[in-house]
Amino acid sequence: MSVHRFRPGDDTFRAAIEAMTSAPLRPEFTWGSIPAPAKMAPSTWACTGEILIHDEELASGRMVILHDPAGQEAWDGTYRMVALIQAQLEPEFAIESMLGDVAWSWVTESLELHGADARELGCTATRVVSQSYGALASRASTVDVEMRVSWTPEGDTETPDLAPHFAAWTAMLASAGGLPPSPPQVAPIAPTHHARAPRPEEAGDAR
Q: What is the pLDDT of residues 182-195, one digit of tens each?
A: 655 543 334 444 44
pLDDT in tens, 156-171: 666 789 999 999 999 9
Confidence of residue 12 (pLDDT cuts 50, 70, 90): confident
Tell how many helices (H) and how many strands (E) occur in the chain: 4, 7
Confidence of residue 117 (pLDDT cuts 50, 70, 90): very high
DSSP state of 23: S
Stated as kind and residue range, the H or E segment containing 50 is strand 43-53
Residue 3 inside a domain? The answer is no
Residue 5 inside a domain? The answer is no
Identify the residue with better confidence: 89 or 43.
Answer: 43
Are the beta carbons of 59 and 87 closer than 8 angstroms?
Answer: yes
On the question of pLDDT at 53 being above 70, the answer is yes
Beta carbons within 8 Å of 29's beta carbon, 6+ residues apart: 49, 50, 51, 52, 170, 173, 174
Domain, as residue range, for 56:
11-197
Per DSSP bridges, beta strands 142-153 and 77-89 are: antiparallel
Q: Euclidean distance between the first and final Cα of the chain, in Å?
A: 23
How far apart are alpha carbons 116 and 82 in whole angstroms?
Answer: 14
pTM comes to 0.80
Are the beta carbons of 29 and 174 closer than 8 angstroms?
Answer: yes
Amino acid at site 165 = H
Residue 67 inside a domain? The answer is yes
Residue 58 inside a domain? The answer is yes
Q: Select from 165, 155, 185 the least CA-distant residue to 112.
A: 165
The total of structural domains in the chain comes to: 1
Residue 56 inside a domain? The answer is yes
Give the orientation angle of helix 163-176 with respect to helix 11-22, to 10 degrees.
50
Identify the residue with better confidence: 113 or 203.
Answer: 113
Confidence of residue 133 (pLDDT cuts 50, 70, 90): confident
Residue 88 inside a domain? The answer is yes
Task: Write phi, then psi, for 63 (nearest 5 degrees).
Answer: -125, 130
Residue 6 inside a domain? The answer is no
Residue 28 inside a domain? The answer is yes
Residue 143, strand partner residues = 89, 129
Task: Write phi, then psi, for 46 (nearest 5 degrees).
Answer: -145, 155
Amino acid at site 60 = S
